[in-house]
Amino acid sequence: MNDLKDKVVLITGAGKGAGRALAESLAEKGALIAANDISPVNVEDVVSGINSRGGKAKAYIEDIAKKVGVQALVKAVEDDFGNFDILINHAAVKPSSPLLDMDEWDWHRTLDVNLTGAFLMIQSAGRVMREQGHGEILNLVAGAGKGEENDAGAYLSSKAGLVELSHQAGLELSPYGIRVYEIINSENVVNEVLSLLEAK
């Protein structure tokens, strides 16, 4: 895919961080941006900025850790754009408590968003892409394998799981023309994603 113009890109966690940077950079390349976040606070600013600069973007407020939310998100993007070409799983939470002090809720929420959410998005988006006969899925797994003292064990565990999920998804989806990538510990996520998507 060497031309991103008019490609529909669905980005989870697009309200801030690498998700926001990717939404803005891909819009500059002519991509149509479906920007998801759990809260409208930041993502609506992202979308407004893209549209004010002549791009095209729309905000979708859903919790990707919930199956119903994921299904509603994918259906809404289909209805608004007709289809979508690229899914970028960026949404993530990272509690700061060490394991001995971590609340069980934080553990479950981290796995639900970072791993289960990615699974649900891959599954729902993958079904649409299978019907289309093509698609790209990029999973951002910053932090995998880079534990530090007092780093959140839940976060590292979820990201390690996402690496293996990415590998399995790549094996299962490739016969349908769907390519799956994981971006690990990249110092410049935006450039790496652009290089992947613009490669021939």
Predicted pLDDT at 98: 85
Q: Using CA atoms, how far apart are residues 163 and 178, in angstroms rounded to an integer? A: 17
Burial class of residue 47 (count of CB atoms within 10 Å of its CB; 0-12, 13-18, 19+): buried
In the predicted model, is pLDDT for residue 143 greater than 90?
no
Find the helix or strand (DSSP H, E) in which 180 lies.
strand 178-183
In which residue are the tokens 């993502």 written?
Answer: 43
The two three-digit tokens of residue 54, written as one number = 């002549």
Which residue type occupies 55? G
Mean pLDDT, residues 70-91 taken together: 96
Mean pLDDT, residues 190-195 taken together: 90
Q: Using CA atoms, how far apart are residues 144 and 200, in angstroms rounded to an integer? A: 28
The rounded Cα 50 to chain-centroid distance in angstroms is: 18
Predicted pLDDT at 148: 52
Report the candidate in 35, 22, 14, 42 with the shortest Cα–Cα distance to residue 189.
Answer: 22
The rounded Cα 170 to chain-centroid distance in angstroms is: 15
The two three-digit tokens of residue 70, written as one number = 């994921």
Q: How many residues does the chain have?
A: 200
Name the residues annotated as catalytic. 155
The band of 1, judged by pLDDT with boundaries at 50, 70 and 90, is very low
Residues 159 and 142: beta-carbon distance below 8 Å: yes
In the predicted model, is pLDDT for residue 185 greater than 70?
no
Which homologous superfamily does the CATH classification assign to the domain defined by 8-198? NAD(P)-binding Rossmann-like Domain (3.40.50.720)
Mean pLDDT, residues 160-174 taken together: 97
Mean pLDDT, residues 146-166 taken together: 81
Predicted pLDDT at 151: 57
Q: Give the SS3 label for residue 92.
A: coil
Domain coordinates in residue numbering, the chain: 8-198
- Dihedral angle over CA of 138, 108, 142, 159, nearest 10: -70
Question: What are the residue ranges of helices labelled H in 88-134?
Answer: 104-111, 117-132
Q: Using CA atoms, how far apart are residues 23 and 31, in angstroms rounded to an integer? A: 9
Predicted pLDDT at 124: 98
Compute the C-alpha angle 37/173/123, nearest 5°: 35
Predicted pLDDT at 188: 86
User: What's the whole-model pTM score?
Assistant: 0.93
pLDDT, tens digit (0-9, with 9 covering 90-100), for 21-30 = 999 999 999 9
In the predicted model, is pLDDT for residue 67 greater than 70?
yes
Q: Using CA atoms, how far apart are residues 116 and 109, in angstroms rounded to an integer? A: 10
